Chain A
Amino acid sequence: MNNQATSKIDPTPTDWSGDVMQRRIKQRYAAERRFKALGLGAILLSASFLLFLLVVMVGNGFRGFTQTELPVEIDFPALTNGAQPAQFEGPDAESRIRSLGVQDIVNGSIEIQYGNDGTDLFSAGAWTSVQSAILKNPSVLIEKTTFYLPVESELDVAYKGSGNPEVEKKITELGDQLSTGFNGNFMGNSDATDPMQVGIWGALKGSLITMFITLALAFPIGVAAALYLEEYAPKNRYTDLIEVSINNLAAVPSIIFGLLGLAVFLNIFGLPRSAALVGGLTLALMTMPVIVISGRNAVKSVPPSIREAALGIGASPIQVVFHHVLPLALPGILTGTIIGMARALGETAPLLMIGMRAFIAKPPDGITDPSTVLPVQIFLWSDEVNRGFVEKTSAAIIVLLVFLLTMNAVAIYLRNRFETRW
């Protein structure tokens, strides 16, 4: 009976070189080739999208850093009744220059050179660059000086290649006088109504302050929470509940954090609207779960043998955590922090909820001053009707990307430094 059973289940000998087997091998190779091709295709596709984005952004955005200029010769000695450079040095030089009436001097000079309608050719704020030039170097006052002043926005757009026929005509009239120069205002100014005068500095500074607040709150609290949950907390229903809650928080849509910020920070605590402080607090709420999750994983991946080694020579639990576990987990925690901070930097929705979409024409001086941030500024400019804002939007996107890359580069540098030290 035993023999019978054996013979029944005895399989036919495997034919390793038979047709069936060959076909199977061919199919296997084909499947592998297909998968490789798919993967390569995916990478090429995403690389081409990225390239397209970068080319378009840099192409458009580059023009945002330049401006079209016309030369204006200003005869300072005649127009200022012989004001001496020495008058405009010292602490209250600015107010004295203001009393000089630079705007009238500039407009007068423009009218002499370009006729009575000449001022229409120039950006309304063109005179401010003359004023700041005097402030920087009062010695220009002693002689006739030629300034290259920004033209008005439509002319600028047309000269850069996409204007309407009426403006094109003006360009041919002006001919060689027009030139392209570096737009010094863009990195130094804040939001304005005239696209020739807008700048990104206000939003950049707002972003810097907001990110600093976010990091200062989310990083220590997130790391402390991760360490407590992994190293100290007992494993029971309550800690399970906390874990589930944190995982859910990381997946909550950001606009809900904005509503939370509005309800808690503005309505209950009465913090000022549109302030970097509230923006930072709100983004910290959003970033913290990401840091906690990555921090817990990093702490978990520290080998238990290191903890045992430290405990075995009489390190107290807190010494084990701060001398061994945290330094070893830090690279992993920093990776999570980079992801969280990058997301926070690009976030617009929650900040709109706490009033950061206001028109802010002055860079913030402190954490409670009204401010805006880069992505919100981009969002606002992209909504503008004036065509001059298109290139400014692209330029602002470039600034945002450079900021993001710088932030990540610093974090990655820190991460690698800690990795080699330990």
Chain B
Amino acid sequence: MDDMTSGDIQESGVSSAEGASQSISAGDGPPKMTTRNVNVFYGEKQAIDNVSIDVNMDNVTAFIGPSGCGKSTFLRCLNRMNDTIPIAKVTGDITLEGEDIYAPQMDVVQLRARVGMVFQKPNPFPKSIYDNIAYGPRIHGLASGKDELDHIVETSLQRAGLWNEVKDRLQDSGTALSGGQQQRLCIARAIAVDPEVILMDEPCSALDPIATAKIEELIHEIRGKYAIVIVTHNMQQAARVSQRTAFFHLGTLVEYGVTTDIFTNPTEERTRDYITGRYG
């Protein structure tokens, strides 16, 4: 994560300043997801302007930026959640493992199983804790029997650091848990379908600091097993959990690079202003 050349950073600054976005390396290894020249329109309004970012397995990628800058919109392009909004239109190339996810032959249901998502507000199903986790494996046929399903539920909850807290009350309703536990339940639910990428849309914005710390710890633990992309308002959080940071402003990608560089030595004026709290 620290081996990125200064040339890369330079390049990113130049490219976004010119608006002609160029691919930005995600670091070591082949990228898990690539995005090239992505534009998103809500009707007439352009929400994302020519963004290109790569995401890989080793790093947690954080999207930061002021409200309405398009970071959540961009995140929702990565698992085609924008499809549910009729007026949204996405152009450009987004690939997962080299496959174009907007290609007609791509099955969006399978894509969303491979690219899991955790939302801003914890949204467990109003079912038991067990059924919350087991729902994904059930609909995708990932478990061949009760034992295997039990095993998936247990390992998912363990990975999400929730197992010890809920193992004696798996049949209780998921909505009866506290906010932080609910959010970890949602992460466990995403993990249960064995995704390749996990998208997190401000996962801690509805949580208190202690619950937030637990989620951040969890993100550290599952890094490397899944490619993680996190959108956050909280710059300290981005600095704590991520290895790559992308700064969005008014629908454009201003800067993308190694997190420590972005926070200590940003190339762009706007990035510096934002992280020092001058606006946003």
Q: Is the CB of B126 within 8 A of A312?
A: no
Q: When the two chains form their complex, are residues B123 and A309 in contact, meaning their CB atoms are under 8 A apart?
A: yes
Asked if A312 and B109 make an inter-chain contact with CB atoms under 8 angstroms apart, the answer reads no
Among A162-170, A314-322, A352-360, the one that faces the other chain is A314-322
A328 to B140, CA, bound (A): 22
Q: Which residues of B contact A305 (CB under 8 A)?
A: 119, 121, 123
Chain B positions near chain A (C-beta within 8 angstroms): 79, 81, 84, 86, 109-114, 116-119, 121, 123-127, 135-136, 139-140, 186, 189-190, 192-193
**B122 to A, closest residue via Cβ:** A305
In the complex, chain A residues whose CB is within 8 Å of the CB of B186: 309
| CB-based contact A314/B110 at 8 Å | yes
Task: Name 8 A/B residue pairs within 8 A (Cβ), A-sorted.
Answer: A306-B125, A313-B117, A313-B192, A313-B193, A314-B114, A314-B136, A315-B139, A324-B125
Q: Across the interface, do A313 and B123 meet the contact criterion of CB distance under 8 Å?
A: no
A311, B110: Cβ atoms closer than 8 Å: no
B112–A311 CB distance below 8 A: yes
Query: What is the bound-complex CA distance between A314 and B140, given in angstroms?
Result: 8
- Write out the residue numbers on chain B whose beta carbons fall within 8 Å of the beta carbon of A315: 109, 135, 139
A309/B125 in contact, CB under 8 A: yes
The residue among B109, B111, B113, B192 with the most chain A CB atoms within 10 A of its own CB is B109
How distant is B41 from chain A, measured CB to nearest CB, in Å? 18
Q: Which of A308, A312, A319, A328 touches B116 (beta carbons < 8 Å)? A: A312
* Known interface pairs A308-B123, A312-B112; 20 further A-B residue pairs with C-beta atoms within 8 A, sorted by A's residue number: A305-B119, A305-B123, A306-B123, A306-B125, A306-B126, A308-B117, A309-B124, A309-B125, A312-B79, A312-B116, A313-B112, A313-B116, A313-B193, A314-B109, A314-B110, A314-B111, A314-B114, A315-B109, A316-B139, A319-B139
Within the complex, what minimum Cβ distance (angstroms) separates A346 from chain B?
35
Contact of B119 among A234, A235, A312, A323 (CB under 8 A): A312
Q: State whether the Cβ of A238 lies closer than 8 Å to any Cβ in chain B.
A: no
Whether the Cβ atoms of B86 and A235 lie closer than 8 Å is: yes
Question: Total A-B pairs in contact (CB under 8 Å)?
Answer: 66
- Whether A310 sits at the interface, judged by CB under 8 Å, is yes
A328 to B125, CA, bound (A): 10
- The answer to whether A269 has its CB under 8 Å from any CB of chain B is no
Counting CB contacts under 8 A, is A16 at the interface? no
A306 surroundings in chain B (CB, below 8 A): 123, 125-126
Q: Name A's interface SS.
A: helix
Interface string of A311-348 (1 = CB under 8 A from B): 11111100100011000100000000000000000000
User: Which of A311, A328, A422 has the largest count of B CB atoms less than 10 A from its CB?
Assistant: A311
A313 closest partner in B (C-beta): B136
A residues with a Cβ closer than 8 A to B are: 234-235, 303, 305-316, 319, 323-324, 328, 422
Closest to B124 in A: A309
Rounded to whole angstroms, the CA-CA distance of A308 and B190 in the bound complex is 12
Contacts of A303 on B, CB cut-off 8 Å? 123
**Known contacts A234-B86, A235-B86, A305-B121; is-contact A312 B81 (Cβ 8 Å):** yes
A5 to B112, CA, bound (A): 63
The CA of A313 and the CA of B108, in the complex, are separated in Å by 11
Q: Is the CB of B109 within 8 A of A316?
A: yes
Q: Which residue from chain B places its CB closest to the CB of A316 in the assembled complex? A: B109
Q: Taking CB as reference atom, which chain A residue is nearest B79? A: A312
Q: Which residues of B are found within 8 Å of A323, using beta-carbon distances?
A: 135, 139
Looking at the complex, which one of A308, A311, A316, A422 makes contact with B126 (CB distance below 8 Å)? Answer: A422
Select B117's contact among A235, A312, A324, A422, beta carbons within 8 Å: A312
How distant is A301 from chain B, measured CB to nearest CB, in Å?
Answer: 13
Q: Chain B's nearest CB lies how many Å from the CB of A158?
A: 63
Whole-angstrom CA separation of A303 from B123 in the bound complex: 9
In the complex the two chains form, what is the Cα distance from A312 to B76 in whole Å? Answer: 10
A420 and chain B: residue at smallest CB distance: B173
The 6 closest A-B pairs by CB, nearest first: A314-B113, A312-B117, A305-B123, A314-B112, A313-B136, A309-B123
Bound-state Cα–Cα, A323 to B139, Å:
10
Contacts of B125 in A (CB 8 A): 306, 309-310, 324
Complex alpha-carbon distance, A275 and B122, angstroms: 54
A310 CB contacts on chain B under 8 angstroms: 125, 135
Q: Are B84 and A311 in contact (CB under 8 A)?
A: yes
| Chain B: minimal CB distance from A131 (Å) | 60
Do residues B84 and A314 form an inter-chain contact, with CB atoms below 8 A?
no
A279 CB, min distance to chain B CBs, angstroms: 39
State A3–B112 Cα separation when bound (angstroms): 64
Which residue of the partner chain A has the closest CB to B121? A305
Chain A neighbourhood of B86, CB < 8 A: 234-235
Q: Are B139 and A308 touching (Cβ within 8 A)?
A: no
Distance A307 CA – B135 CA, assembled complex (angstroms)? 13
By the criterion CB–CB under 8 Å, are A313 and B124 in contact?
no
Indicate if the CB atoms of B127 and A422 lie closer than 8 Å.
Answer: yes
Q: How far is the CA of A234 from the CA of B84 in the complex (A)?
A: 12
Residue in A closest to B173 when the chains form the complex, CB atoms: A422
> How far, in whole Å, are A140 and B103 apart by their CA atoms in the complex?
87
Minimum CB–CB distance for A320 against chain B, Å: 10
Complex: A309 Cα to B174 Cα, angstroms: 13
- The distance from the CB of A316 to the nearest CB of chain B, in whole angstroms, is 5
Cα–Cα distance between A307 and B123 once the two chains are bound (Å): 10
Known contacts: A313-B193, A315-B109. The answer to whether A308 contacts B119 by CB under 8 A is yes
Q: Would you call A313 and B126 a contact (CB within 8 A)? A: no
The residues of A that contact B189 with a CB separation of less than 8 Å are 309, 313
Query: Shortest distance in angstroms between B73's beta carbon and chain A's nearest beta carbon?
Result: 14
A235 to B127, CA, bound (A): 31
